[in-house]
Structure 1
Amino acid sequence: MKLASFVCAFAMGAALLPAAAIADDPNDPTMRSAAARARDSAIIKRMNQQQLAYVRQRDARNRPTYRVRQSDRDAYADARAEHARKMAAWRHAVAACNAGRWEYCDN
């Protein structure tokens, strides 16, 4: 029973280990000639270009196609301006509190 458990655990552990990449084998006999390496490089370059084209098409399909209305832009600009005013007031209060004006200090 213990042997079966050990064998099972060993097999599971071996299955989880990464396998060596055969494509990068420096001893691969088919990649010894310059022509074979150039052919392999051209194939990889073509595959990379195809994948890049696929990703660009996918991203173009998934890109949102809405236009922001001017009123939304104006509302956003107003909200940012209001936030900037509140931050300026807060910074003024902090500076006054640090200067000893206790009426500007919160509890």
Structure 2
Amino acid sequence: MNVRVIFGAVALGVLAVPGVAMADDPYDPQMQTKAARERDRAIIRKLNQQELARVRERDARYAQDWAAWREHNERSGNARRDADRDYADARNDYEQRMAEWRRAVAACREGRYEYCAR
């Protein structure tokens, strides 16, 4: 069974190689005339120009999307900083209240009953 697979792969490779090898053959009889070579150059030039236009359009789209992304992040960055500041302030208030409560609990446990009612 392995021998069949190996021979099949070799046969497929042998059949594929000549087609690939002839793709850019400078001695191709169809490309011997100057008109055929000029026609080929014109086709290649047109394909290259089309690809260049496609790439430029794609890059312009990418640039526009990146600019929108940066603008969005700058706007949301200010809101995020404000939210972070608000959270930090709230957290500081909470920590201060908890520290006061812990001091009151410690005082209550020491027998200072005026702190127990807080």
Q: TM-score range by the shorter chain?
A: 0.3 to 0.5
Greater fraction of residues in helix? 2
TM (normalized to structure 1)? 0.48
TM (normalized to structure 2)? 0.44
